[in-house]
């Protein structure tokens, strides 16, 4: 169930729009139970891990500033990275879109003569649909991350950035391993139970023989340092280390926004990423390599720099910040919408709040026009983001663009477009938000009956037909805080 | 035009709003974060944080290194291990222990079959309970500390840095670097952490304090 891929991949073509997909997902009780259990666990762990550092906000600010600065000078840092990687013995390739990246990787693999390659979990190769392109070229790509293996064996789609099989519970995984592993290599042990430790052991045995004979591996990259040419992969299981160390040829596909100015900038991101992602002080394994090292690891290293819509995203001064993303998935885990619908409803390899702002920008807002609306704008994602992407701001900005795209040739903006523009203007200014809240409080109380606002006349009718709106409180939280707590502080 | 020039050209065109006076490498990055969060003695903190990952930690004075290594191996029923070049002879146990080298380089299958490796490290990080390997003396090429199912790492107390920024400053980026924080693990099944997947499933760490301190 891979779906046809356009030139840019990213979205699963043929997926229903978010509202329809969400309705189906919400009716799936087992999915909702799996998601609730998993996201609750990880939320608590993340809060504990980030709460340990009393300078967490300073780290976030530094992470944001480094990413912002790098993007503003992206051509400079990409050229430096190319220079450093080449000097260290690597080869750099440039790919404008998914099709070109797939072609480059396919040719590199063909040149080695390998017909089976190993993969480290990577969002970039997921985005370009590499496994499908390789299959068409007669090359079998074996996923080695446990969750990706679960997705691959089930001919399923990933539903989470970090834990792609979060929608599956242990019983489902046991059944899948027992039924499918034998088709790909070593079968699951007899009498496999649904204990996570037993399932991990089955994956270890299944993949071990593949690691030992691997000739080519394909990875993504978490970071790449322009000054030294050092590339980083952050992981837990050791499948990454196997793929980065044992094969003769290593091919890394990396979005151009992953570059960092300096090796020393890792001091910020190696604190931000594991604590935000798995809620650990440090993930079990991080591998850093610079070109090739004689006698240690691959003798050939290829770095494929991927655009695939990133320069279009860069051109939008508001939307550009989505490229700060370090793929930690904290925003998914705190999102009330994601927790209820799961990742498949987003129809993209990038689900959740970050997906709702990244996907429409990578593929063009007209191809994912329902995603900017797949949010309540509660702001939990912004608070959780380790690089301070203001996701609600980008969402409202993209909503206006989606509505504009829909209006197309109309001469006058639609009311919806005006409302979204107005919302952006109000939400970016604390003073304006305060005024709007006071006005809403007065107006809302005039219209409400027993605390609820029912059907409204005129242009609001379409909205209010299917929704009751709670009347705004007499006083906003911000106003209450100023009156009761602020006490002269800012 | 090459794809490289196309991408760089698109990126330049996308950044028309960046004033020409704003230069790369001169960014005012706010670095108000701490260099270290360590607030107790580093040996104590490192030992506690490594143990949190369910690795075992033993603190011993340097003159008891060989005896401590021997005891840990015996506890696991191990009588042989890969020992990379540069691992101090004085830290190796006597008796029935067999030291296996890596010259000529062993195949992955051989290393897989050996099952145990001893190593030193380049740097350790107290706050995160991390050991950093850089393929230097006593560590060997990366496969040696990856394929055997048991890894015993000996850390000298003075190699322990407080936190990530201090450790990064000590590392040589031209070397292959591996940060190891506990045994391999996964949270891919219901976000429930399980120790032991593809990397060594057992990690024992010895912290050697200088003999005068002990």
For residue A254, the model assigns a pLDDT of 98
- Residue A5 binned pLDDT confidence (cut-offs 50, 70, 90): very low
Residue A219 has pLDDT above 90, yes or no: yes
- Residue of chain B whose alpha carbon sits nearest to that of A307: B7
The reply to whether residue A78 touches residue B11, judged by beta carbons under 8 angstroms, is yes
For residue B214, the model assigns a pLDDT of 44
Residue A473 has pLDDT above 60, yes or no: yes
Chain B residues inside the 8 Å CB shell of A78: 7-8, 11
Lowest mean pLDDT among A21-35, A128-142, B194-208: A21-35
Domain boundaries, chain B: 39-209
Collect all residues with Cβ–Cβ distance below 8 Å to B69 and sequence separation of at least 6. B91, B92, B93, B118, B152, B154, B206
The reply to whether residue A285 touches residue B8, judged by beta carbons under 8 angstroms, is no
Looking at CA atoms only, how far is residue B173 from chain A in angstroms?
A: 7
Q: In the CATH scheme, what is the code of domain B39-209?
A: 3.40.50.10420
Domains of chain A (ranges; CATH) run: 18-306 (3.40.50.10420), 351-484 (no CATH)
Three-class DSSP labels, chain B: CCHHHHHHHHHHHHCCCCCCCCCCCCCCCCCCCCCCCCCCCHHHHHHHHHHHCCCEEEEEEHHHHHHHHHHHHHHCCCCEEECCCCCCHHHCCCCCCEEECCCCCCCHHHHHHHCEEEECCCEEECCCCEEEECCCCCCCCHHHHCCCCEEEEEEEHHHEECCHHHHHHHCCCCCCEEEECCCCEECCCCCCCEECCCCCCEEEEEEEECCCCC
| Tens-digit pLDDT profile for residues A286-317 | 999 999 999 999 999 999 999 999 999 999 99
Residue B127 in contact with partner chain A when CB distance is under 8 A: yes
For residue A412, the model assigns a pLDDT of 65
DSSP A187: P
| Tens-digit pLDDT profile for residues A154-165 | 999 888 988 898
Chain A residues inside the 8 Å CB shell of B17: 317
Q: What value does the mean pLDDT take over residues A80-109? A: 98
For residue B28, the model assigns a pLDDT of 83
Looking at CA atoms only, how far is residue A16 from chain B in angstroms?
A: 27
What is chain A's mean pLDDT, rounded?
A: 90
For residue A25, the model assigns a pLDDT of 86
Which member of B141, B178, B189 has the closest CB to residue A196?
Answer: B189
Check: CB of residue A361 under 8 Å from CB of residue A316. yes
| Tens-digit pLDDT profile for residues A227-279 | 999 999 999 999 999 999 999 999 999 999 999 999 999 999 999 999 999 99
Check: CB of residue B51 under 8 Å from CB of residue A288. no
Q: Which long-range contacts (CB under 8 A, 24 or more apart) does A262-266 make?
A: A262/A225, A262/A226, A262/A227, A262/A228, A263/A225, A263/A227, A263/A228, A263/A230, A263/B168, A263/B173, A264/B168, A264/B169, A265/A66, A265/A223, A265/A225, A266/A223, A266/A225, A266/A232, A266/B168
Distance CA A31, CA A46 (A): 22
The residue of B13, B31, B189 whose CB has the most chain A CBs within 10 angstroms, and thus the best one to mutate to test that interface, is: B189
The reply to whether residue A76 touches residue B24, judged by beta carbons under 8 angstroms, is yes
Question: Token match 């291990």: residue?
Answer: B81
The reply to whether residue B174 touches residue A312, judged by beta carbons under 8 angstroms, is no
- Residue A1 binned pLDDT confidence (cut-offs 50, 70, 90): very low
Tokens at B73, concatenated:
């191996």
Looking at CA atoms only, how far is residue B161 from chain A in angstroms?
A: 13
Collect all residues with Cβ–Cβ distance below 8 Å to A13 and sequence separation of at least 6. A3, A4, A5, A6
Residue B135 in contact with partner chain A when CB distance is under 8 A: yes
Which member of A53, A284, A286 has the closest CB to residue B182?
Answer: A284
Chain A residues inside the 8 Å CB shell of B197: 146, 200, 203-204, 236-239
| Tens-digit pLDDT profile for residues A325-372 | 999 999 999 999 999 999 999 999 999 999 999 999 999 998 899 999
- Concatenating the DSSP letter of every residue in A250-299 gives EEEEEEGGGEES-GGGHHHHHHHHHHHHTS-SS-SEEEEEES-BTTBS-S
Check: CB of residue A131 under 8 Å from CB of residue A153. no
Helix (H, G, I), strand (E, B) or coil at A189: coil
- Residue A4 binned pLDDT confidence (cut-offs 50, 70, 90): very low
ipTM, interface predicted TM-score of the complex: 0.96
Residues in chain B: 214
Chain A residues inside the 8 Å CB shell of B10: 307, 311-312
Residue A405 has pLDDT above 90, yes or no: no
| Tens-digit pLDDT profile for residues A159-198 | 898 889 888 999 999 999 999 999 999 999 999 999 999 9
Give the number of other Cβ atoms within 10 Å of residue A407's Cβ. 14
Chain A residues inside the 8 Å CB shell of B185: 236-237, 284
For residue A392, the model assigns a pLDDT of 97
The residue of A30, A207, A241 whose CB has the most chain B CBs within 10 angstroms, and thus the best one to mutate to test that interface, is: A241
Which member of A58, A230, A307 has the closest CB to residue B173?
Answer: A230
Distance CA B72, CA B203 (A): 11
- 10 Å CB burial of residue A457 (0-12, 13-18, 19+) is exposed
Give Rg (Cα) of chain A.
24
Residue B123 in contact with partner chain A when CB distance is under 8 A: no
List the A285-290 sheet strands across, edge first: A259-260, A223-225, A230-235, A285-290, B177-180, B130-133, B123-125, B160-161
For residue A435, the model assigns a pLDDT of 82
Task: Select the more confidently predicted residue: A336 or A30.
Answer: A336
| Tens-digit pLDDT profile for residues A413-424 | 667 777 777 888
Looking at CA atoms only, how far is residue A1 from chain B in angstroms?
A: 22
Distance CA A159, CA A371 (A): 15
Which member of B25, B125, B176 has the closest CB to residue A289?
Answer: B176
- Residue A449 binned pLDDT confidence (cut-offs 50, 70, 90): confident
User: What is chain B's pLDDT, residue by residue, as a tens digit (214 residues)?
Assistant: 899 999 999 999 999 999 999 999 887 899 999 999 999 999 999 999 999 999 999 999 999 999 999 999 999 999 999 999 999 999 999 889 999 999 999 999 999 999 999 999 999 999 999 999 999 999 999 999 999 999 999 999 999 999 999 999 999 999 999 999 999 999 888 877 888 899 899 999 999 998 655 4
- Residue of chain B whose alpha carbon sits nearest to that of A171: B189
Looking at CA atoms only, how far is residue B22 from chain A in angstroms?
A: 9
For residue A488, the model assigns a pLDDT of 53
The reply to whether residue B10 touches residue A266, judged by beta carbons under 8 angstroms, is no
Looking at CA atoms only, how far is residue B201 from chain A in angstroms?
A: 10
Which member of B22, B108, B125 has the closest CB to residue A212?
Answer: B108
Single pTM value for the model: 0.89
Chain A residues inside the 8 Å CB shell of B29: 62, 65-66, 69
Give the number of other Cβ atoms within 10 Å of residue A454's Cβ. 13
For residue A2, the model assigns a pLDDT of 37
The reply to whether residue B178 touches residue A285, judged by beta carbons under 8 angstroms, is yes
The reply to whether residue A284 touches residue B181, judged by beta carbons under 8 angstroms, is yes
Give B 5-44 residues with CB within 8 A of chain A. 6-8, 10-15, 17-18, 22-25, 27-34, 37
Check: CB of residue A197 under 8 Å from CB of residue B196. yes
The reply to whether residue B27 touches residue A65, judged by beta carbons under 8 angstroms, is yes
The reply to whether residue B33 touches residue A281, judged by beta carbons under 8 angstroms, is no
Residue B59 in contact with partner chain A when CB distance is under 8 A: no
Chain A residues inside the 8 Å CB shell of B128: 281-282
């Amino acid at each position: 169930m891979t779906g046809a891929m356009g030139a840019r991949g990213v979205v699963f073509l043929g997926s229903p729009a978010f509202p329809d997909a969400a309705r189906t997902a919400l009716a799936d009780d087992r999915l909702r139970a799996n998601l609730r259990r998993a996201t609750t666990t990880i939320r608590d762990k993340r809060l504990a891990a980030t709460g340990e550092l009393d300078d967490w906000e300073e780290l976030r600010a530094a992470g944001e500033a480094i990413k912002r600065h790098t993007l503003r000078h992206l051509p400079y840092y990409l050229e430096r990275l190319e220079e450093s990687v080449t000097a260290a013995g690597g080869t750099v390739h440039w790919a404008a879109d998914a099709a070109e990246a797939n072609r480059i990787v396919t040719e590199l693999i063909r040149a080695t003569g390998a017909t089976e390659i190993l993969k480290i979990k990577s969002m970039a190769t997921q985005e370009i649909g590499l496994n499908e392109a390789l299959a068409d070229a007669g090359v079998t790509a074996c996923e080695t991350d446990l969750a990706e293996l679960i997705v691959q064996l089930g001919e399923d789609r990933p539903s989470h950035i970090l834990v792609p099989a979060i929608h599956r519970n242990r019983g489902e995984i046991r059944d899948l391993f027992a039924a499918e592993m034998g088709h790909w290599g070593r079968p699951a042990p007899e009498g496999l139970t649904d204990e996570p430790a037993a399932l991990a052991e089955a994956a270890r045995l299944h993949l071990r023989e593949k690691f030992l004979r691997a000739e080519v591996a394909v990875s993504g990259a978490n970071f790449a340092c322009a000054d030294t040419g050092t590339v980083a992969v952050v992981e837990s299981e050791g499948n990454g280390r196997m793929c980065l160390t044992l094969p003769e040829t290593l091919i890394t596909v990396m979005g151009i926004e992953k570059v960092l100015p300096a090796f020393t900038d890792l001091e910020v991101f190696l604190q931000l990423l594991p604590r935000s992602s798995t809620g650990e002080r440090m993930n079990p394994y991080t591998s850093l390599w610079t070109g090739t090292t004689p006698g240690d690891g691959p003798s050939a290293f290829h770095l494929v720099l991927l655009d695939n819509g990133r320069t279009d995203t860069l051109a939008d001064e508001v939307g550009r910040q989505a490229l700060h993303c370090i793929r930690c998935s904290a925003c998914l885990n705190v999102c009330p919408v994601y927790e209820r619908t799961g990742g498949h409803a987003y129809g993209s390899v990038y689900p959740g709040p970050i997906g709702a702002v990244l996907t429409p920008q990578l593929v063009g807002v007209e191809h994912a026009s329902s995603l900017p609306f797949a949010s309540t704008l509660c702001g939990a994602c912004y608070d959780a983001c380790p690089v301070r992407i203001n996701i609600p701001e980008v969402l409202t900005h993209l909503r206006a663009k989606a509505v504009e795209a829909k209006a197309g040739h109309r001469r006058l903006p639609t009311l919806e477009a005006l409302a979204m523009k107005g919302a952006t203007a109000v939400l970016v200014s604390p003073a304006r938000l305060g005024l709007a809240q006071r006005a809403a409080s007065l107006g809302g109380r005039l219209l409400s009956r027993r605390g609820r606002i029912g059907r409204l006349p005129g242009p609001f009718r379409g909205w209010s037909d299917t929704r009751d709106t709670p009347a705004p409180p007499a006083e906003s939280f911000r106003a209450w805080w100023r009156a009761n707590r602020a006490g002269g502080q800012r | 035009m090459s794809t490289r020039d196309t991408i760089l050209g698109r990126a330049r065109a996308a950044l028309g709003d960046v004033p020409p006076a704003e230069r790369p490498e001169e960014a005012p990055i706010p670095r108000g974060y701490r260099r270290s969060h360590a607030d107790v003695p580093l040996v104590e903190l490192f030992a506690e944080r490594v143990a949190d990952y369910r690795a075992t930690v033993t603190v011993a004075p340097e003159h008891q290194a060989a005896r401590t290594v021997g005891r840990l191996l015996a506890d696991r029923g191990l009588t042989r291990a890969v020992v990379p070049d540069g691992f101090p002879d004085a830290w190796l146990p006597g008796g029935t222990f067999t030291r296996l080298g890596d010259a000529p380089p062993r195949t992955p299958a051989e290393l897989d079959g050996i099952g145990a490796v001893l190593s030193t490290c380049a740097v350790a990080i107290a706050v995160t309970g991390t050991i950093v390997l850089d393929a230097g003396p006593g560590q060997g090429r990366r496969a040696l500390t990856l394929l055997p199912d048991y890894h015993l790492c000996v850390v000298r107390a003075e190699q322990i840095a407080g936190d990530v920024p201090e450790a990064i400053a000590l590392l040589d980026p031209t070397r292959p670097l591996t940060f190891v924080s506990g045994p391999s693990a996964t949270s891919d099944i219901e976000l429930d952490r399980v120790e032991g997947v593809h990397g060594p499933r057992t990690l024992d760490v010895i912290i050697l304090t200088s003999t005068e301190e002990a």
